[in-house]
């Protein structure tokens, strides 16, 4: 049984070979999304180059799909390059674009950059939702786990900084009227654990237990 991304590519190629029907930007965007979901970053980026070669009208959707593929493939530098490219081309990044960029930074261990982009969104008064915050908190959690594995002695101060920032983001969410979900709390707990902040982790679990269905721990 072929995977979704392979089926999407086959359909795209068939469409390209048709003389009377040619794929448009939406077709390519959806195929890039299929590749992204399967973490086929190289195929997704190759499709983006095809779009450029065909001189189709590039938009925020196709760039966001390509950046998402970079995020899932841990190509954070390429993700930031595409963000710069779309701005250069006069295409304004959307809130979804920035959320995906934050995810790319987090997956690449660049938590500082992840928080920088979150702050940029706030400064530009862009819509921020639970997914955006979750990506930022997850970036801190991943960095905390990585630092704790490298050296407990040299990274203790950094892990302290990371868990505190994670809890701060959780607090900011609630102050802005954005309800954290189970992923929000799980990511925050993951940031606390490497620093040995078990009391804080237990408090978060209790918050989850008192919350609604979206906050129930697994």
| Per-residue pLDDT tens digits for 154-204 | 444 467 789 999 999 999 999 999 999 999 999 999 999 887 888 888 888
| Band (149; pLDDT cuts 50, 70, 90) | confident
pLDDT at 212 over 70: no
Output the pLDDT for position 16. 83
Contact status, residue 86 vs residue 65, Cβ threshold 8 Å: no
Confidence at residue 194, expressed as pLDDT on a 0 to 100 scale: 81
> Which tokens in the block code for residue 105?
């930074």
Pick left, alpha or beta for residue 39 (phi over 0 → left; psi -120 to 50 → alpha; otherwise beta).
left
Superfamily, domain 98-218: Tetratricopeptide repeat domain (1.25.40.10)
Structure tokens at 127: 């819509």
Q: What is the mean pLDDT of residues 81-94?
A: 97
Nearest to 47 by CA among 38, 35, 39, 37: 35
Q: In this structure, how many other beta carbons lie within 10 angstroms of the beta carbon of residue 12? A: 19
Neighbours of 147 (CB within 10 A): 22
CB 172 within 8 A of CB 132: no
Do 95 and 121 meet the contact criterion of CB atoms below 8 Å apart?
yes
Work out the percent of the chain whose per-residue pLDDT is above 90.
Answer: 69
- Geometric angle at alpha carbon 217, from 212 and 218, rounded to 5°: 130
Q: Is the pLDDT of residue 214 over 70?
A: no
Q: Of 58, 142, 129, nearest to 96 (Cα)?
A: 129
Q: Give, as one character, the DSSP assignment of residue 43.
A: H
| Parts of the chain belonging to CATH 1.25.40.10 | 1-93, 98-218
Q: Quick one: pLDDT at residue 156? A: 47
CB atoms within 10 A of CB 216: 13
Looking at CATH, the fold of the domain delimited by 1-93 is given as 1.25.40
Whole-model pTM? 0.88
Nearest-10 crossing angle of helices 25-37, 41-53: 170
């Amino acid at each position: 049984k072929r995977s979704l991304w392979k089926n999407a590519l086959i359909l795209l190629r068939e469409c390209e070979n048709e003389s009377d029907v040619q794929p448009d930007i939406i077709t390519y965007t959806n195929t890039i999304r299929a590749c992204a979901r399967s973490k086929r970053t190289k195929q997704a980026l190759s499709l983006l180059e095809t779009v450029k070669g065909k001189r189709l009208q590039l938009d925020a959707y196709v760039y966001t799909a390509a950046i998402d593929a970079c995020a899932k493939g841990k190509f954070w530098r390429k993700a930031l390059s595409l963000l710069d490219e779309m701005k250069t081309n006069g295409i304004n990044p959307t809130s979804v674009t920035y959320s995906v960029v934050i995810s790319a930074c987090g997956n690449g261990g660049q938590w500082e950059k992840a928080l920088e982009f979150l702050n940029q969104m706030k400064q530009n008064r862009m819509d921020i939702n639970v997914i955006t915050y979750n990506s930022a908190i997850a970036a801190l959690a991943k960095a905390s786990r990585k630092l704790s594995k490298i050296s407990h002695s040299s990274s203790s101060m950094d892990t302290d900084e990371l868990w505190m920032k994670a809890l701060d983001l959780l607090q900011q969410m609630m102050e802005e009227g954005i309800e954290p979900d189970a992923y929000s709390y799980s990511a925050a707990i993951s940031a606390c654990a490497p620093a040995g902040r078990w009391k804080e982790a237990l408090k978060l679990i209790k918050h989850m237990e008192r919350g609604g269905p979206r906050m129930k721990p697994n």
